[in-house]
Every structure is written in C-alpha cells, then in structure tokens.
Amino acid sequence: MAAKTLTIDGKQISAEEGATVLQAATEAGIPIPTLCHLEGVYDMGACRLCIVEITGIPKLLPACTTKVAEGMEIKTNSERLRKYRRMILELLFAERNHVCAVCVSNGHCELQTLAYSQGMEHVRYDYTFPKWNLDTTHRLFGMDHNRCVLCNRCVRVCWHIEGAGTKNVSGRGAKSRIITDLNMPWGDADSCTECGKCVMSCPTGALFNKGSTVGEMERDRDKLEFIVNAREKKQWIAD
Amino acid sequence: MKIRLATVWLGGCAGCHMSFLDLDEFLIDLADAVDLVYSPVVDVKDYPENVDLCLIEGAVCNEDNLEILHKIRARTKVLVSFGDCAVTGNVAGLRNVIPVNKLLQRIYVDGADANGCIPHDGLPQLSKLARPAQDFVKIDVCLPGCPPQNKVIAGFLNNLLEGRKPETNQKIKFG
C-alpha cells in the first residue's frame, strides 16, 4: 500500500494510505487523548476528545475518523485544542450525574483519568442533574445511565465482536440513551448472549457486574483484544 | 501577621474536616502560623471580617448555607472549595433528581416509625437543588476529593504558609 508522509507536532512521519490520524500518531509515539476509541472496533468520532488541528482546515477534526493525506500538517496539543478538550470533558460531567465518590469505577475510570490529564479540577457549567434510570433486570450485569457518556463502545462490541446486536442507541441529543433490544429491560432482551463484552468495554461505571461496589469495577480488556487479534491476525493462542 | 484561616461546614458529612484533622503533626506547624478565626472546631458564632483564607466543605443545600456563603465571600480574600461536595455537589447532590417535597415526605413521613411529620420549626428551607459553591460566588481554588487526601491539603497549606501561589503540589483526584 502507498505510504503518505505528513507532519504531526513538527515530527515528519510516514503512514500507510487509509490509516487514520490517530493510528499514525500512535505509531509515531505521539499521544492523543481518546475516550470513545476502542481497539478492535470501528471508530465513529462520538466523543470528540481526539480532535486535532490540520493546517488549511478551519474545523477541528477527530483524529480517529480522519484519514491521513500527503503533506498534512497536524497539531495535536495546541492551546486551542486543550481548551476545547477541557470544555468537552466538563460538558460530559455536567450532562449526567457522575458522582465519583459512589461509583463502581472510581479510580479505574477513563473519564476520571482524562479529567486529571486535561487539568480539570472543577466544572464551569451548571450541572443538569437529569433523572435517569438504573437497569438491574439482567441476571449478571447492570446499566446506570447516570454514568453513561454515549461513547457507543458497548453498542459496537455487541454488534461487531459478539454479533448479538442487543445494544442500541435511542433518542437524540442529550436525551440519547443506550437501550437493549426493542427498548425493553435488559433482563428481557432475548438477543443478549450474556457474554459481558459491553461491560468489558465501558470506559466509566455505566455498565457493571452486579454485586460490585465503589471502586471495584476493573475492566478486563484482554479478552476483547484476544478475540480481535484472533480474527484479524489469526493469533488463536494468547501470550 | 498570622494568616487568618477559617473553615466552614455547609452541606457535607464532615469527612473533609476529618481529613484536615488527619494532617497529624503538620497541624502543630499550622497552629503556629495561622489564627483559626472561624471553624466547626472553634467556638465562634459569627463569621469575622478580614479573613485571609476559607476552606468550604459541603454543597450549598439550604438558605442558611447560601447566606453564609455570601458573607464569607464578602469577608474573605481566598475562597477554597474544599472537597467534592463543594466542587461538584457530589453525594449531597444525589437528591437533586427528586423534588424536595417528595424527598421530605418519603424520609420524614413515610419512612418514620412513629409521629411522622415534616420538620420546619427553626430549620432552614431546603434548596431545590444542592449545588456547588462556584454556582453562587467566585471560588479561587478547588481542592476536590471525597475527602481531599491529607497530603493534598498539606501541600496546599504549605504553599500558602511559605508565600507561594495557593495551589496544591499534589495530584488531585475526584471521589
């Protein structure tokens, strides 16, 4: 495949044609913060944390869904980007009820980690304190919409790794929410295979193993990675 | 001149103050360097004038909290949101999805074993929402944590005592 040469943060790099800016940066050892991105499933640019500046394009573009092109000049960590990333995080915190102190993922949460890394020590926007339900009808797992950031990871792993298609998104804007089957309680969703991949993929405490309490949810992503490697690289034996 | 320090306890569980007391021997150095002019651990009824620094624990949950918060802002140079409830609403804000009248009814009437009634005499009116301090007044520094770890508090106070910028030199964390 043809190689493209481009510049990321002043560093000359080459990347395969068809690669995303995020892939190119990662390969070159340039970190870009991400939230909805998950290795093994397609990218969709849901969270906008990975936005980058590209010379000649006035809009900020998500690195995960932007393909590399010859001669691109990209900035990944400008003052402007840091400002917007922090704004995005604060809006995520304000949009739902993220109460770290009582969350199953406290200390292992990707949203929390991102907040620290972007220097967020408070939220400048009014919290919306929306009323969301908790679905604990499933035998093994629970879903707390209060903690959901709508990254769609659970939807993508459910459809594209497990192939069950139980999880979906319903509604629009701030009222969007994850549903199971035809908007029925998770426990009644016949298509769910109880594989737990959605729980493994969740970046926050929105999906959890029943019975876990504050700080107890540590995600095991190794299984997802194993399945993806097995399929894509034909590596059927784990290291 | 000693630094005039105040600490105040709004809608919180006192955990942040416990973490403050957990400063151990640093409290001895602190006692030499500051005048504690107002605090739950000091018997002073009214918030004094000319306070240099005030640590605010808890969310703003009722009309009394709001009144004293405005008084504190007017009389204090540096205001610190001290702990997650003051910074985000946190646990105090968990009730925000329930209307106040339903909340009081559920706890004091439906939940009572005997003589259920909603208390009112001499009690401040509960606000519709428990909100972070910065929703009402300008906050100069945030020290999140549930509670803020003692090393975060010590790092902050140490900077202050030594005339550096009022910020902590430790990693902050929510929850």
What is the extent of the structural domain holding A93? 84-233
Nearest to A101 among B90, B96, B142 (CB): B90
Dihedral sign computed on CA atoms, order B171, A147, A135, A45:
negative
Q: pLDDT, tens digit, for every residue of A156-172?
A: 999 999 999 999 999 99
Q: Which residues of B touch A (CB under 8 A)?
A: 81, 84, 87-91, 93-94, 96-97, 129, 131-132, 134-135, 139, 142, 144, 146, 171-175
ipTM score for this prediction: 0.92
Q: Using alpha carbons, select from A70, A77, A65, A74 the residue that is nearest to residue A15.
A: A70
Q: Is residue A100 part of a domain?
A: yes
Domain final position from A77, A112, A128:
A77
Quote the Cα angle for A29-A31-A34, to 5°. Answer: 140
Give me the residues of chain A with pLDDT under 50, please. none
Q: What pLDDT shows up at residue A23?
A: 97
What's the whole-model pTM score? 0.94
Q: Give the residue from chain B lying closest to A104, CA to CA.
A: B175
Residues A220 and A193 in one domain: yes
Give me the residues of chain B with pLDDT under 70, please. none
Q: What pLDDT shows up at residue A206?
A: 98
Q: What pLDDT shows up at residue A193?
A: 97
CATH number of the CATH domain containing A11: 3.10.20.740
Q: Do A112 and B175 touch (CB under 8 A)?
A: yes
Both tokens of A125, joined, read 């926007």
Residues 6+ apart with CB under 8 A from B91: A99, A101, A102, B13, B84, B85, B146
Q: Is residue A139 part of a domain?
A: yes
Q: What pLDDT shows up at residue A227?
A: 87
Nearest to B84 among A101, A124, A126 (CB): A101
Residues A19 and A46 in one domain: yes
Q: What pLDDT shows up at residue A239?
A: 62
Q: What pLDDT shows up at residue A158?
A: 97
